[in-house]
Amino acid sequence: MYEGLYKKSGRKDERKMERILVIEDETDIQEVLKNYLQAEGYEVLLAGDGVEGIARFQREGADLVLLDVMLPKVDGFAVLELIRRESQVPVIMVTARDSVEDQLRGFRLLVDDYIPKPFDMPVLLCKIAAVLRRVGKQGKAEEQKLCYRELELDGAGHQVYLSGCELELTQKEYELLRVLLEQQGRVFTRQNLLDEVWGMDYFGDERIVDTHIKNLRKKLGNTYIQTVRGVGYRMEKERNAPWARHISW
């Protein structure tokens, strides 16, 4: 089904070999994905059901997970929940479950992208590269400390403190907070934040931004992130202090 849709991009020697875990029960799709991903220079791990996928992830790790939803033993949504309990590794769902409800459920569980089957191999490869590139850029950008009122974001340790107490934030909550802190005073539309945090290749529901902002406010309190009615969100510039106090490591 997916043969003949792929042209090698020539990126094989441009980066380290990243490891991709494919959790997929259809062996023909497994083989197609394995062959094309290896041709692109990725290391590939395969798992045929949810239990095996979780075990391989915990045992061997991965830089990115390609995850089907309709899996034997444990379905993809449950696998995603288990992965998110211990890791913020990028996860792309590749599945025949293409309803809006299923896609929204995936994004609520913090999937990075959701691709319905049948898919075009070049598109999938571009999305994989975009997600890994975004993660890499964020890793470089976060080698700094940002302070704002009682908040302290430690980029090197990937930690956030409020009045000296560490907060437990998801990856997307952390990235949203970092973006707002770095550009205090700027009003971000939902689309701005989607582009900054989820990437310009994201095609899901904009309301996912509201969900993450709501969760952030529960952890930070309601005084940090302002709603600009009809426009979006901002973090007001800190008064009587240097704007966006950066401390480089």
Worst-scoring range by mean pLDDT, 101-110, 169-178, 232-241? Answer: 232-241
| Mean pLDDT score of the chain | 83
Maximum pairwise Cα distance, the chain: 62
Q: Are 110 and 212 in contact (CB under 8 A)?
A: no
* Weakest mean pLDDT among 117-121, 156-160, 169-173: 156-160
The listed range with the strongest mean pLDDT (41-50, 130-139, 167-176, 192-201) is 41-50
Query: pTM for this structure?
Result: 0.55
Domain residue ranges of the chain, discontinuous segments joined by + = 19-139, 142-248
The whole-number pLDDT of residue 185 equals 87
Residue-wise pLDDT for 28-80, tens only, equals: 999 999 999 999 999 999 999 999 999 999 888 899 999 999 999 999 999 99
Query: Of the CATH numbers 1.10.238.10, 3.90.1640.30, 1.10.3720.10, 1.10.10.10, which one belongs to the domain with range 142-248?
Result: 1.10.10.10
Query: With 70 as the cut, is the pLDDT of residue 244 above it?
Result: no
User: What Cα–Cα distance (Å) separates residue 88 from each residue in 4, 81, 96, 223, 247?
Assistant: 33, 11, 24, 27, 25
Distance CA 67, CA 92 (A): 6
Half-sphere exposure of 133 (CA within 13 A, CB side): 12
Q: How far apart are CA 23 and CA 94, in angstroms?
A: 9
| Region of poorest pLDDT, from 18-32, 138-152, 159-173, 213-227 | 138-152
CA dihedral 51, 52, 53, 55 (to 10 degrees): 90
Segment 222-248 shows an average pLDDT of: 72
- CATH number for the region 19-139 comes to 3.40.50.2300
CB of 225 within 8 A of CB of 213?
yes
For 221-232, what is the mean pLDDT?
Answer: 91
pLDDT score for 8: 42
CA atoms within 13 A on the CB side of 226: 13
**Per-residue pLDDT at 10:** 43
